[in-house]
Amino acid sequence: MSFIYKITILYKICILHSFFIFLFLIIIGKVFYIQVIDYKKLNNYATSLWSRNLPLAANRGIIYDRNGVVLASSYTTYDVYVRPADVEDYKKVANILSENLDIDEKEIYEKITKSSYGEIRIAKDITKEVVQSILKDFEEGIFFTSNIERNYAYDEMLCQILGFVGYDNSGLSGLESYYDSYLSGIDGVGLVETDLKGDSLPNSLVYYEEAINGLNLELTIDFKIQNVVQKVLEKAMFETNAKSASVVVTNPQNGEILACATLPSYNLNEIP
């Protein structure tokens, strides 16, 4: 065997050896990237594939006048869902929900037996009393989620000042918008493990993170003064046939706003 031939063989072995080392380094690098650098992203993606989360809405903070009179507050309503994969008796579930929700039993039955979705919403914005009534004859596959609705105790009073919230319960105008980050709170979540079809796994780990309610807001407004100002302004508008009118009452000692009214106004509880 010639010397040149031996060198050629050795050269080829070195190249092949280098190739395998290079390939090994690429694999190690990829493993490092997946397990260290991209771990959080991939872990969140994997979690989203094998689990379902149920939102738990936080209570929005209350808005008071200076003496503790509630001007804006929140109340809880509930949505009713059915997870078909967990239902043992479809007819019984349809019957229970129909009796409590005043929805045609056949309509509910068709929804929960023919839908391909993991969860089906049957009704929205029901009261706590209705939920308790359903729970008396509870069947597997029925579950609820909570929603927070906003209520303004005096309809049109201080409408331009208080503002209002949107469908997602976030402030859209006035103080509701300006102090939204304080009033809104932090929603919680309930997490349940599922299979590829979205069916709940038996004895699956359920993760629960409680919602953190929003902070309350106390105004310098005095409800009694505001109420008087509102009535006087309405009377003045009627007697003078004015198109609009505004009044601001302040404390001369420190400049605090005790009342603020503008007409025409609108009902905060009837925002479309």
Amino acid at position 272, single letter: P
| pLDDT (0 to 100) of residue 62 | 96
Rg (CA), the chain: 31
Name residue, tokens 């808005």: 63
User: What is the sign of the dihedral through the CA atoms of 122, 131, 146 and 45?
Assistant: negative
Cβ count within 10 A of residue 143: 17
Q: What are phi and psi for residue 53, nearest 5 degrees?
A: -115, 145
Whose tokens are 């905060």? That residue is 268
The pTM of this model reads 0.64
Residues of the chain with pLDDT under 50: 49
Q: What is the pLDDT of residue 256?
A: 96
Q: Which helix (H) or strand (E) holds 238?
A: helix 223-240
**154 vs 156: CA distance, rounded Å:** 6
- Give residue 223's pLDDT: 96
* pLDDT for the residue numbered 250: 96
Place of tokens 């004895």: 203
pLDDT computed for residue 228 by the predictor: 95
CB 245 within 8 A of CB 237: yes
**Model pLDDT, residue 6:** 56
